Structure 1
């Protein structure tokens, strides 16, 4: 054989060298352009095959050159420009398998042939094998009745198919080798599958057939399927435009359907639990994505249970025009990774920030369609309050407004169908730790009253002491959680002077970490001294109880008891 080298196309190349000893191809002079010549025979008996199509396809051009073998099985492909060629042999006799030179059934396994101007390549022969046949029956598992549809046989060498006959039988002629067999049902109440009851391509079991082999008994019993049905509404009216409704299971799309002109849809699926989503259109995203039932985020959705025989109806959606958020992601001090940054839109819903949509970006980003041929201002985001998070390996996570935490990020109030631009974020390799901050439930409190304080940016597990300044009054302490947040109630001493004060948070060494203004007003009655309460502790700093009033109260109580005894004696 001639020397072979691997080409970029994945095929091997038979190099045109000198056609010396050990070579079964020859290189000779050609008068006009290059040529490829050879003979095609049947592998079974060596007889020449006439009428075989011989097609040469160049590596650097999509054009092809075709000829046919004569009665002796000989052919010549003439006028070939200098190039690397793939040669395919397609017999007119369908009992023989199509192949590439040199004995390959798959394109990626073929060997290319190098051709130069004025040079003839001879001995490019082929010996064609008989096809194999696979056959069987396709029926419904529930009652054994035939199922209408087709059977597809798939492999690297090609694709073959045949319709299922009315009695459920099928027969497909295929090239020798390993294949996957797929049973495709034309009736959505019967589930398509691969050989050996596999639901997906990745789980399918291959079969291997030899030349001329007739492989029978590849039967399939298709399980029954029911359907999830419903209607998509806009403004209380069924949507007449086509919208995609998707059914998800285990993080993957299990099925989908387009709505009809009356807004209805039907998705036939195997029995199971599904998450339903609607909003995307065939030509981009015009509507805010919604999950069932009327949920704006996946985390708030409810799964729909489908049985094997009875449809699950009335899984309806109400859509509104979606909003879009656009901007840029850039890096300072380093380059973004090849995959760009992950940009996530988080929606405030049901008391927490929830992920709605994610895109990859290096430079400009948007959550709506980026198809330049679609004039579209809307996007997939349901109306609400949003914050943007941007993440990339090797960079500090940033949020809208340049914040380093979600709590301090800038919010975007997205109205129905609105588009927000210039929500730009700059990433840096290092993160500056956010300074501790405090927030009060109210800005004014009576002396002796309580106030709720929250904070962020503290060290995890840190004990934070509080004082009322300027004349320090100890109020107690709170402990930061694992995210550096604190939350609790502080009681202002009844003795606190009326007027403007500053509530300060003290760290190690009694240094002030954060502060916030607080107005103290006159107490209505006497009150207790400072104390702090939080979710994991009760921290008290003592009580202010005037000594003279306490002593007077005790004396009056003793005298009252003596007077009561004297009255009983007189009685």
Structure 2
């Protein structure tokens, strides 16, 4: 869980940096803003005796704003923000005296775990309280040196990544010494990163990878010393970064080398000639990301890719330099429009998600301004635009007037162009609500989905404390499903369909109608700890042999529900197309074997992203003649959906849980910051 939180924390920061570099993921200003009447208020106390805390700095930041609103608690520990614009606010509690630990509402240690306060139509929000714990006093210290000559390493970044989500860092002094102070009790992975040198990263004790590190366990009020590191020199990656439009060299571009787990192994910045040199890399395979290109330019991966999975791999040899890893960066374009309510034409505040048609992991977020307008800077390409309102009485939709990704109208953005008029008029939603009960307190996310056939038309999270949820849907008949994602890595719960059944085929459909909320659609999930190995995806073919140019019928089970699975014919990969798993994780459909496929024994491989997750043998016989069945896309299907090669992508927006969306988006914008972790898809 700590690794997951740490990764998401850094990429959220990187997303903000990228937004600024692109000239903003920005919202257009309103000419006549309404009177600002929203408010947030509460009381701050100590966890020791419940004493009121005066002088605590409370900050509130709206999601779409760069700055903070700041107030200080009075003698009774009370505070109030007034005159707030509509939006979703992050609230932080900080003790300038340092006697109490910083906290975010509601009882979160960092912004990632924080609950936002939604101000809608000038609403008031009392009771946004905090109980602050005394600042912890434990520490970890040590020394960092070079392995080749034992000299101290000055300015090395030392990080502590806690299992409970706590993360901190410091730099070594001139003698290579460091101290990580004010640590809560717990277990920590200690990392050593000599940025800007030829030294490889390392972890305690003598580990080169995060997963190999030996955790340090500390108790309250303790000092742990002697946590030293000896860092060795590594290999390098070098190249030049320019602009596509005029070939001009680009200085001060951040270039990251990401290992196969998506962790930033090392990074560099380009000089005045556009050149860069990333040092300190262990031998292995990397993806190179050009992450902070400057105003008006788009971030990308080598070569000409916009997501981690699509990036071409760079191989590094120990103590050698891999050269020629160059990039020519594109000028961004813009998508803009408005989001209003169809009932009266007034603004509809919410989130806009813009996702590449070719690569769902290449995506952008924006918020609508107070007048309902927005503008988003994007790399040249073809995109789907999803509008998700903050108002639970409105339903989300894609542009233009579509409720599934497959039916969305793509928006094409040329380099440097502005595409305007990408508007949405959001309709009233049909509401389905209920409660998801779980028999465990293990930290988790609980997700409720509404399915229509093989499409997810609505998804939401159940409240972490009460299990309550509410889905905003179009009118129609749907299959509802509840599932849980646990953070401890050892607990699972089998998904459940309404009403208390294990498969979609047995589920009772729920009919949703605008103006007539459906309540009491409840679920009960049963948690199991250490359940043992889980079934892996399996494939079955209608026949073990197929003539080139003909269609082969494929079925499978055990896939992620709603996942778009790409298929290839190996050994020389031939892309065949994609099939989509249904709510039970089963898929079925037909794909065409190209007439050009060589005769002989092959392997049919199913891929999630770039990872092979299932395979089966297939014999291909020679085509009957030339010009027969030469298409390489999918043709026809049953019980699933097929698409042409290149569309085997994870779902987003209305078609996937928000947690999956968030992880996919942030991979596309991760900047050159401190080393963190990335969750690996299976």
Q: Which TM-score bucket, shorter chain as reference? A: 0.3 to 0.5
Q: TM-score, normalised by structure 1?
A: 0.46
Structure with greater Cα Rg: 1
Q: RCO greater where, 1 or 2, for CA within 8 Å and sep 6 or more? A: 2
